[in-house]
Structure 1
């Protein structure tokens, strides 16, 4: 029986089983009805087995065949710009693929019910959307296009496949080129576009700041403080009162500094360091924000809602009103400030042998910048050394301790991903005029190392006290992903130990050390990062895989992170002996929700920061179309090669633009190979490119090899 005959007989059998008068039957009964002879019986069995394998029929315990019950799933529908989509189902590892013809009336973000399509031959399970349960997306940000009697909003989010029809009376005065927010009033159907009304005009696309503000609205980032919150902030005094200082450890005579970027105004951490023989006395002093943000106040609810400050390319959206974050809560030099200090005694091996967490009053002696400290310690700048001569010995001790702490972290397996971040310079109109990599230096490393140690020390102490707490956790990667990484890197001659069991972070650290400065470094580093889970907040102290730390929390930034603010409250109540059974029960009840919400707002902020950076990079390259740059091939895919420039900008050379030959992607060697001339492009290979195009709205940059162009 050939394939055509098989399909024909399968259809006949399914038609029979779908008939209203059909009842489940055994194979003998089916053979009689279908007039199948004994000689043809194996063919009937083959057809039945095929239909069973495809999930179109099922067999009972008594051996009776019947049409399989439709299996349904419920999840969130996410579309793809090319027209198809996926259903994300909670608790299910793989998404359900939905082809364009099976989407029905579903809209991006809808909670939907779908029937699983049996017998799908692709890698993914397919589904057909049968019901829209609820709409998640209520508003759309986009560009308004005006017609004579109506208009449309073209969504910024390319995953929203339909334009939104706007009746003329619902346009709110918008004109061509306005960035707007449109409330969806109807989600449309297969024959009718979604409909909406404009609720806010953000600004014209040519107005400075409108582009970034559009992302702010699209991500639903709250950036305007309610009047009640601002009024509460205004009532906070500008100076620390004597009453507030009572009962605190007075550290105002201890020499200490803040070290931040030049533009920073919310200075929430100061450091002090002394050495007595072989013992270091390190102080990490954190602004006591909880003294001014009381639990369940308007300020507290707004801070929790925001979850974190958001640092966009042209603005900061603070978690707290600037009167607090840049004023009484900022550790400004020469001003008495309230702090929560982690005081650590560290031996000559870099181990913390004693610690104290205390409510303190401090006075920072000097506001330092990363640049100044770098000039002193790295550049040996005579002028800078002379200017800050009284602090130079302390900075030198800080460098020494920092190097010791970093060495210890490396020894235990802490993983350090060295991906350069971009520093984007804008002019007064918000246009990018320069983009360059932001380089870490001795000063940034000192602060990073000291903050990490304070976070570990606080987490360890509160874990062993068995007090309800918030931890920063980074779970062990899924074995399947590590197995896939191990198989991938084997192509390059690398290996990983412990893949079958639970991989240790030191193995990934060793891998990154081995690939350093190799052509495949960028690809393997990125794939290693993708194989790991995302860090999050939790009430369970499950450890931090990336840092190879058993105990870790976020204690050092209560001005800009809500979890830090929350644990400061717990610490202070504990220090004051007020953490009774009632308060412990209170924290056990609220902390899981705080952890989950803070993790979500953190991801939202990261996405907004990433989106604005990509947009500004594309806008910058619009000014440089036709220009040539030296770059490095950072990854190769079937559709083309990504090339990264020294300034961190990455663009795509689409395979269609490699027109000196017919190229194909060799999956085994991860190379782009020319079929006729045999030219090969490899990972890490230097390449000179010319900018072919850049699209700010779609945040895409296209390159072409300069040699081909020329």
Structure 2
């Protein structure tokens, strides 16, 4: 369709929205040579100015009216009704007040108009209003169906309504039309949204039911709902199962041909006691000169899951296995993950091997990567190996020969770990909880996962293999998938650096010059302190998320120049692709043409992006399930008292974490002894009258007063106010002495604050 002159001009001004032009410049740009054309142009420009679409500057130039400027981005909805739009990665989000949301839902792609520009002088973010919803993120919803009686059906025209389980949609009404299924009351359903309407700033959905998942009180239905909300597939298609069933359980002599035979080498697997997918095996030889030969053999999943097969397509969609309290949602059918691709002891298995020669300082000075066949000598558990290291007592499975190898492995691990620390790798060492449930899915106990020498040893060996593989293919300059961790966002890092000054820790240098080694040193300074875990968590939050990419930009957290994921192809799709690329380059060692290289890079980037997205969904599922089960666990503990540590401080209160990692909120309205101000730079609540302070790392005793399982929330009250440390009552100018801080002078209030913090440390 031919464009009008108005459309052509507006496209021009929008393309050059930050510039302005004289009429003559516009005329020359479009080739308007005659006087008639020029008059038409001038008239059209005048009309556009009259309509407010463009403006005429004092210099007589025409330009785009910035008030009409719209930006496109992704909307993120807060539970309280307002939200933020991310327009560009790395740029500040734009605040959207509740009254300007205009029916947008979490994840929607929207067009916004800026109402208030960002103010750098008071740190106030830009705000805007949503003018158009470009694409809806939520096209299906999950919830519990309530069926209307016949009379209400006749009056309203609806079959019933769905109580949505997504926290972002819990206040959203969802009416069910007669178009789809009409199950019984209490059925958990999936419904497709037909329309999105807004009533009094509240979103109303109209949908039809397309699938019944089961009854709401069925065992495991709570977790199943979370998986369906996140669109994580839980059942394999028949075509995938059929293909998996055709895979042989035994290895033929023909399949071994062309592989390095490692069946006679002493090899073991070391995993958790409940692990079923054993995808990595290790072997070690210590030479007389003190050097080591480390062999890491990984299940050759890519041999069985070939490109574009049904299993491959499904694995791409899933991206990763998801590990939850009472189940694993596998990336591959169990016939493979727990069968022919699991490195069971005494059984032949096809593998891909990274063999590394390592000197006494931990330098990998030579390596090989090759297809192999192994036969694991033993299936060891972390507990068994840790008992050996801690007591020198070996289980029946640990023969003297295996024990000697394990002690050598411990020695090499110590060398490799020390080398990583020396180059600046950050060990966050955060505590992870394991939630134990009974046969009905009810949580019975929360225990902390142990991370002993055995666990760290295997981690060291896997890190070494991953780095070796990444370095090898980066040096070959061929298309590949890497695991990257970009440098921290400057603003987030600055907030963290300000936060840790409250603990007497200072890191010198500008944000862009803060190395991982400097952050590692900061963690070492709080080692053993009650707030160690909190500082570690806050540092982790200041970091960007690691992701997959075809460009090897390095891994900030590991202080590694090149890194990939090679060691878990059973449960991570990028690892499977890395194996596939290793096999490909082994068979076709020649250089690719430029066209082949571009096509391959494009395909690998799509895989990297999809895998990163599915990894984030898996993490979200794990967090949601853990929060749900922790709330369930605390249900019968209302009224009980616990010791805890302040884990976070906000303007509306503080979160306290118990020893079992359960976290609950003490709302600021329940801090009755004073009026508290939130000092964000130091993450502290400070009493105006008493000077009583609450800050991250404080030990407190709390009582559990309320549990909302559906909202996954736990509420606490303080029990022992007398034990709370007190600081000098603030005077005018304390903490918020903007004038002195802007002029570069040291605020006396800040000095008193730091002095008070030191006194609190001494009192501990």
TM-score range (shorter-chain normalised) is 0.7 to 0.9
Distance 1:217 1:237 in 2: 33
- 2:574 corresponding residue in structure 1: 563
2:73 to 72, 75, 89: 75
Q: Is residue 2:624 matched to residue 1:611?
A: yes
Question: How big is the shift at 1:406?
Answer: 0.3
Distance (Å, rounded) in 2 between the aligned partners of 1:287 and 1:617: 35
Residues 402 and 450 of structure 1 are in contact (CA less than 8 Å); yes or no, is this contact kept in structure 2? yes
Matched, 1:116 2:125: no
Work out whether residues 378 and 442 of structure 1, in 8 Å CA contact, stay in contact via their aligned partners in 2: no
Residue 551 of structure 2 aligns to a residue in which SS? Answer: coil
Partner of 1:25: none
Deviation at 1:169, TM superposition (A): 6.7
Q: Residues 498, 174 of structure 1: CA spacing in aligned structure 2 closer, same or farther, 3 A cutoff?
A: farther
1:208 partner SS:
coil
Could you say which residue in structure 1 is the equivalent of 2:11? none
Establish whether residue 473 from structure 1 lines up as the match of residue 467 from structure 2: no
Do 1:183 and 1:198's aligned partners in 2 also have CA atoms closer than 8 Å?
yes
Aligned-partner Cα distance in 1 for 2:442–2:407 = 40
**In structure 2, C-alpha distance between the alignment counterparts of 1:347 and 1:295, rounded to whole Å:** 38
Contact persistence 2:354–2:368 (CA under 8 A)? yes
- Residues 120 and 558 of structure 1, relative CA distance in 2, 3 Å threshold: closer
* 2:749 counterpart residue number: none
Distance 1:358 1:109, change over 3 A: closer
SS at match of 1:439: coil
Report the equivalent of 1:657: 670
How far apart are the structure 2 equivalents of 1:484 and 1:563? 33
Q: Post-superposition shift, 1:167? A: 3.6
Q: Provide the TM-score with structure 2 as the length reference.
A: 0.81
Q: Distance in 1 between matches of 2:494 and 2:260?
A: 52
- 1:172 matched residue in structure 2: 182
SS at match of 2:352: strand
Q: C-alpha deviations, 1:491-510, integer Å up to 9, x for none?
A: 43322133254321101101
CA distance in 2, matches of 1:442, 1:170: 56
Moved more, 210-219 or 522-531: 522-531
- In structure 2, C-alpha distance between the alignment counterparts of 1:223 and 1:229, rounded to whole Å: 13
Counterpart position of 2:432: 421
CA distance in 2, matches of 1:336, 1:671: 59
In the alignment, structure 2 segments of 5+ residues that lack a partner are: 1-53, 154-158, 723-764
**Whole-angstrom distance in 2 between the partners of 1:568 and 1:462:** 12
User: Quick one: distance in 1 between partners of 2:575 and 2:508?
Assistant: 36
In structure 2, C-alpha distance between the alignment counterparts of 1:126 and 1:386, rounded to whole Å? 64
CA contact (8 A) 1:58 1:67 kept: no
SS of the residue aligned with 2:217?
Answer: coil
Matched, 1:411 2:409: no
Q: How big is each residue's C-alpha offset from its partner over 1:667-707, in whole Å with a ceiling of 9 and x where there is no partner?
A: 46543334444433333222111111111211111111124
Match of 2:128 in 1: 127
The residue that corresponds to 1:508 in the other structure is 519
Q: Please report how far the alpha carbon of residue 92 of structure 1 lies from its aligned counterpart in structure 2 after TM superposition.
A: 6.6
Question: Residue 198 in 1 paired to residue 223 in 2?
Answer: no
1:450: how far off?
A: 0.4
**In structure 2, what is the equivalent of residue 8 of structure 1?**
none
- Deviation, 1:63, is 9.3
**Hey, what's the Cα distance between the residues in 1 that align with 2:529 and 2:248?**
57
Q: Give the 5 Å matches for 1:676-695.
A: 676-695=689-708
- Distance in 2 of aligned mates of 1:479 and 1:96: 18
State the secondary structure of the residue aligned to 2:349: strand
**Kept in 2: contact 1:269–1:556 (CA 8 A):** yes
SS at match of 1:447: helix
* 1:620-659 aligned within 5 A: 620-659=633-672
2:703, 2:696 → 1: CA distance?
19
Residue of structure 2 equivalent to 1:151 = 160
Secondary structure of the residue that 1:626 maps to in structure 2?
Answer: coil
- The match for 2:761 is none
Structure 1 stretch displaced more, 484-493 or 388-397: 484-493
- CA–CA separation in structure 1 for the residues paired with 2:646 and 2:364: 44
| Closer/same/farther in 2, CA of residues 174 and 477 from structure 1, 3 Å limit | same
Contact 1:519 1:683 in 2 (8 A): no
SS at match of 1:581: coil
Alpha-carbon deviations, 1:291-339, whole Å to 9, x = none? 1111111111111111111111111111111101111111111111111
Shift of 1:128: 2.1
Unmatched 5+ stretches in structure 1: 1-55
* Contact persistence 2:330–2:571 (CA under 8 A): yes
User: 1:311 is matched with which residue?
Assistant: 323
Q: CA RMSD in A?
A: 2.6
Distance 1:158 1:88 in 2: 20
Q: What is the distance in 1 between the residues matched to 2:467 and 2:63?
A: 62
2:356 alignment counterpart: 344
Alpha-carbon offset, residue 605 of structure 1? 0.8
1:67 CA drift (Å): 7.7
Secondary structure at the aligned position of 2:604 is classed as helix
Q: Which residue of structure 2 lines up, in the alignment, with residue 142 of structure 1?
A: 143
The corresponding residue for 2:366 is 354
Relative to 1, partners in 2 of residues 1:58 and 1:689: Cα closer, same or farther, differing over 3 Å?
farther
Residue 719 of structure 2 is matched in structure 1 by 706
The structural deviation recorded for 1:641 is 1.5
How has the CA–CA distance of structure 1 residues 691 and 168 changed in structure 2, closer, same or farther, with 3 Å as cutoff?
farther
Deviations 1:480-539 (A, max 9, x none): 333333233334332213325432110110111112233543443222212211111111
Question: Structure 1: how far apart are the matches of 2:302 and 2:261?
Answer: 18
8 Å CA contact 1:279, 1:346 repeated in 2: yes
Check conservation: 2:700, 2:718, Cα contact below 8 A.
Answer: yes
| TM-score, scaled relative to structure 1 | 0.87
The alignment status of 1:530 with 2:541, answered yes or no, reads yes
Residue 95 (structure 1) aligned to one of 82, 93, 96 = 93
The 2-side partners of 1:639 and 1:231 are apart by 54
- 1:28-50, Cα deviation, whole Å (9 max, x unpaired): xxxxxxxxxxxxxxxxxxxxxxx
Which runs of structure 2 are paired with 1:587-606 in the superposition (5 Å)?
Answer: 587-606=600-619
Cα 1:501/1:127, change in 2 over 3 Å: closer
**How far apart are 1:96 and its partner, in Å?**
2.3
Whether the 8 Å CA contact 2:485–2:545 is kept in 1: the answer is yes
